[in-house]
Structures are given as structure tokens and as C-alpha cells.
Amino acid sequence: MAKKYQIPVKKTTAASLPEPTTGTTFLEWLPVLVAFLVFSLALGNEMTGVDDHASTVENPAVKDFSLKTLFTNFNLGMYAPLTWLAYAMAYGLGEDNAVLYHLLSLVVHTLNTRLVFLMLKKLEVSTALLLPITMLFAIHPIQVESVAWIAGFSTPLFSLFTLLSFNFYLEYSGREDKRTQNYILALVFFIMACLAKSAAVTVPLTLVVLDWWRKPTQLGFMKKWSGYVPFFLGALGFGLLTIYTREVSGTMVGATGNGYTALERVLLVCYAPLFYLSKMLVPLQLSIYYSFDKINGVLPWTYYMAPFGVLSLAVLGWRTRHSAPYIYTGLLFFLSNVIITLPFATLGTFELCADHYNYIAAVGIFYILVKAWQALQQRFPERAGLLRTLGWVWFIVVMVLCVRQIRIWKDTITVISNAIDNGYYHNGMMFMGRGIEFGDNGKMQDAMKDFTKALELNPELRDAYKFRGSIYAQSGQVDLALKDLEKYLSYDSADVVTWNNVAMIYMRQGKLPKAIEAFTTTIGLKPDAAISYQNRAKVHEMMGNTALAQADLKQANEILAQKRQQKAAENGK
């Protein structure tokens, strides 16, 4: 029998390993390149009607930029001066040019992709896992909302500073040299993250998880925990500031918002993370809005099963803490980053669940998925080829779905239609939002259908009456217009424009006393409305009240003269 010879292999220690080759360096940067190429598709997307204008061109801190407005403005219930500063830069270059705002998101997401790779490397994640985890962060469809939505830019921006904080903290906890410098930088970037978006208050929790994950030997127990204190104090301060800004702006609904009981809140809190996990595994039917709807006043049975699902994950993490520690570390990373967004209370107008809440948190789940994929191949070597193939097929599908999701964000009608097609109506709000966009694009029949559908779903949706009434008026259906506009005024009796429209309808119908009454209400709400005086003068003239008509015309002329003088004085300055 022939003797078997083995080729001798030189053993090397970690210290003697060769430096990465050029090919390895290229692979490290591949996720960055892919992130840039894939999300560059969003550069052609428009500004949507989903808060994009309110965040940018209608934001006082952006269009009237100054340090005072930057740091004293609460917009959409947020205190985010660094986000407003970035918007102001784009506004200064091109005002409402959507490309510039999308370019901001593209650049920041690309930088974040690199920072995720570096963070995982510092966490001593194996080389075989670094590339696929970072690639998933770069192009998973659940990231699209954060990057392709202009109003969602605060998420990539705060994440940029958050990831910088994580990286410098890992340097601080893992190295002896430059320790004080790295700690200060970690703390500074944490504060900057909070100034970009209040969701950064979760950073201290994640720092604890990072230490638990890597278990650094350089820091003693007391030094480690004393290092957390400034971060937790900062998180507390910014958390209280967020509550204040929400209250001031009137966007804080509270724990009882949306009509959920305390028990139902518990079910929602358990259901949300499981919902996110399902979207990361099967990223279908992603939407700008997800609703937690009751059926006959009761949440579906899946919500009641959610606590058992969360408990099962906790038991799995505990029982595999030695054999598969990546499960509990990944889950803890995910939970520490998403916990503040779970629906304990409604801190906004309707968002109980959203894709952009997972932007950083998803890294923990991607770590579990890739590590489990690798572990299964090792455990079942005879099926390793099949498992690898399935993994790559899933990844390719994920990339295709990412491209598709980016195209869904191309304009307002497409993104809202996607939510409607997926069955998320937001109690009629989605139909009303799409109806407004149809109206702005001159598609009045489509707008009429959507406003009618919105009111069928929610008869208390007052703005739908105003918009539908305006369309009725334009089409000459004055009786229907008057009915809708009067209904709207029963909700909002201080709307000057609607009172003026109602007065004009009364005038067209020949209901002159009512027209006088409506124009008088308009003038009472807006005393410098010259047009209302002029229109009331016409009605007085139609009724034969010449003296009253002349008095109104005189008042209108005086108002117009004052405005001309004021404008001339402003131009003279």
C-alpha cells in the first residue's frame, strides 16, 4: 500500500499573519461600493408629500437659517439641529432640488456601511462573517425607508454619529493607548447623535451590550460602569427634552393614544419586534405605514401569541448562551437599539411601527442570520453546498427587493399607493394623502374617489371634507360643495380660506344675507383681508346697499395702500 504523504504546513501565530492583500482590501470596501451603487437609484426620486417639504423647504430652521432658529426650532415634534443644518446646506445649494437631499442620505448611508464593518471588526467577528453582515446592512430592503425618504434623513445622520461613538468606545474599552481621547470622542459623537435625532438615547444601552459581547479585559468593573454614567445622564436629558418638544408641538399622543388598553399595549410591545424580525427574514409588503388594527374591537389572535414568541426567543438565547452565544448577543444588540421605539406609548401622530426604527438595530439580526447560516453548514457538511446556494439565492432576492423598494419611493402617489395596496389605510389617512397629491397633479376625479373612500373609512376625517368640497366647487356642484365645506367648518371654525369659499358659494346661490355673514366672519378672522372687503362690497351692491358697499371698498383700498407702503419700505431697506 502506497505511503500517504502530507504537505508540511508552516504554523503561524496571530502576530505573524501577513498583512491583508489588495484583494482583501477591495472586498472590505465592496459593501460600501454596493451601497453607493444601489441607493444611487434614489437620486431620481421626487420629494414626497410625506413630511419631506415640512422637514426641508417649509422648515423655518432650514429656509430662514440662523444659529438662533437652528437651535430653538422644534419641527414635526423633533429637536434635531444637526439634521436641520444638513438640510440647510442642501437648501442653500438648490432649495427644493430633491437630488441634493437624496445625495445627503446616499453619502451618509455609504459612510455608515463602512462604520458597521469597522465596528464588527472591533467586536472580533470572524472575517468570513464581516462581508455578508455588512452587505446586508448596505442593501436590505428594510433600510430603504431610512435612506430613500428625505424626511427620514435624521435616521442615517444620527446613526453616523452613533456608529462613530460605538467605534471610539470600542477603541477606549479595548486598548490602553489614547484611552481618554477615545472616551471623549465617543461621548462627543453620542451628543452629536442626540442633536441629530433623539432616538440616539439608546446608545448607553448598546454600549453595555458591546461590552457584554466582547468582554474587554482592559477595564475593571468600576471603571466600566462609571464610564457609562455620563452617557446615561445625557440620554436622560435628551429624553426629557424629546418629551417636552412633543408636548409643545402637539404631536405627543401618550400611552392611551389610538385607543389601546394597557393589556393591548403589552401585546403591541411584544408583537413589534417579532414583526420586524419577520420583515428582515421575508422583506415583503414593506410600507411607509403599518397599522395595528382591531377586528370587531379586538386585536387578532397573533398579537396574543406575541408574548409567547418573545419568551421563546429569550429561552432560546439563554439555553444556547454557551453553544451559540451569537444568538443572545445579536438579540441584545437588536433590542438595545430598537427598545425606545417600541409602542409603550405613542410619541407621535401615528407611528407605532416603522422600518426606519431598525436601521442600526438590524445589524444584530443580520449577525444572527449569517452566523447561523455558517453554523448550519459546519454542522451538516453533506448539505453545505445546498445551504450555501439557498443563502445566496435569498441574498440575491433581498437585493432585487431593495431595488424595487427604492423605486416605490419615487413619488408620493407610488409610496402611498404601496401602503394602500398592502392593506394599510391608517383609518382613511392614506386615501386622503393620496387624494391631495392627485388634486395637486390635476387628477380631480381620482382625488374625489380617494376623499370619498377616506370619509367612508373615517367620517371624522375633517380635512377630507374641505378638499372634496373644493373639488365640488370647482366642478360647479355648489350644493355638494357647500355641504362638505360647512361640515368642515363645524370642526374648524377659524379657517379663513374655507369661510371665504363658503361666502362665495352663498353669493353664487343668491343667498346674499348668508354671504354677508360669511364674509363678515372672514374679516373678523383676518381683518387685513382686502379681498373679503371687496367681495362683501359686491354683495352689498347686489342688495342695493350702496353706502355699505362704498365703505367696504374704501376699507379695502386703505388696506392695499398700507401693504404697498410696507412693501416699499422693506425694499428700501
Give pLDDT tens digits for 412-430. 999 999 999 998 888 888 9
**pLDDT tens, position by position, 307-323:** 999 999 999 999 999 99
Quick one: 409 and 487 in the same domain? no
Q: Please determine, for residue 264, whether its predicted confidence score (pLDDT) is greater than 60.
A: yes
Residue 36 lies in a domain: yes
Q: Please determine, for residue 570, whether its predicted confidence score (pLDDT) is greater than 80.
A: no
Listed residues 414, 445, 471: the one ending a domain: 414
Query: How many degrees, rounded to 5, is the angle at CA 184 between CA 179 and CA 185?
Result: 100
Listed residues 414, 448, 471: the one ending a domain: 414
Residue 97 lies in a domain: yes
The mean predicted confidence, pLDDT, of the chain is 88
Instruction: Specify the pLDDT at position 2.
Output: 37
Q: Please determine, for residue 70, whether its predicted confidence score (pLDDT) is greater than 90.
A: no
**pLDDT tens, position by position, 117-151:** 999 999 999 988 999 999 999 999 999 999 999 99
**pLDDT tens, position by position, 43-63:** 999 999 888 999 999 988 898
Instruction: Specify the pLDDT at position 169.
Output: 95
Are 210 and 166 in contact, with CB atoms under 8 Å apart?
Answer: yes
CATH of the domain at 537: 1.25.40.10
Q: Which of 3-17, 76-90, 191-205 shows the lowest per-residue confidence on average (mean pLDDT)?
A: 3-17
**pLDDT tens, position by position, 391-405:** 999 999 999 999 999
Q: Please determine, for residue 249, whether its predicted confidence score (pLDDT) is greater than 50.
A: yes
Q: Please determine, for residue 386, whether its predicted confidence score (pLDDT) is greater than 90.
A: yes
Over residues 196-225, the mean pLDDT reads: 89
Tally of CB atoms within 10 A around 220:
9
Quick one: 395 and 477 in the same domain? no
- For residue 50, give the nearest of 540, 516, 412, 517 by alpha carbon: 412
Quick one: 407 and 517 in the same domain? no
Quick one: 410 and 527 in the same domain? no
Query: Residue 202's Cα: distance from chain center in Å?
Result: 17
- For residue 245, give the nearest of 43, 41, 61, 502 by alpha carbon: 61
Quick one: 127 and 243 in the same domain? yes
Which residues does 234 contact at the CB level (< 8 Å), separation at least 6? Answer: 187, 190, 191, 194, 204
Residue 149 lies in a domain: yes
Instruction: Specify the pLDDT at position 4.
Output: 34
Quick one: 147 and 263 in the same domain? yes
pLDDT band with cut points at 50, 70 and 90 for residue 6: very low
Over residues 466-472, the mean pLDDT reads: 92
User: What's the rounded Cα separation, in Å, for the pair 418 and 327?
Assistant: 34
Range of the domain at 468: 458-572
pLDDT band with cut points at 50, 70 and 90 for residue 1: very low
Residue 425 lies in a domain: no
Residue 534 lies in a domain: yes
- β-pair partners for 106: none
Quick one: 255 and 366 in the same domain? yes
Over residues 103-127, the mean pLDDT reads: 96
DSSP 475-507: TT-HHHHHHHHHHHHHH-TT-HHHHHHHHHHHH
Listed residues 355, 380, 414: the one ending a domain: 414
Quick one: 407 and 462 in the same domain? no
Instruction: Specify the pLDDT at position 3.
Output: 35
Residue 453 lies in a domain: no
Quick one: 51 and 122 in the same domain? yes
Residue 291 lies in a domain: yes
Quick one: 403 and 504 in the same domain? no
The total number of structural domains in the chain stands at 2
pTM for this one? 0.86
Percent of the chain with pLDDT over 90: 60
Quick one: 472 and 568 in the same domain? yes
Q: Please determine, for residue 14, whether its predicted confidence score (pLDDT) is greater than 90.
A: no
User: What's the rounded Cα separation, in Å, for the pair 191 and 200?
Assistant: 8
Residue 431 lies in a domain: no
Quick one: 397 and 483 in the same domain? no
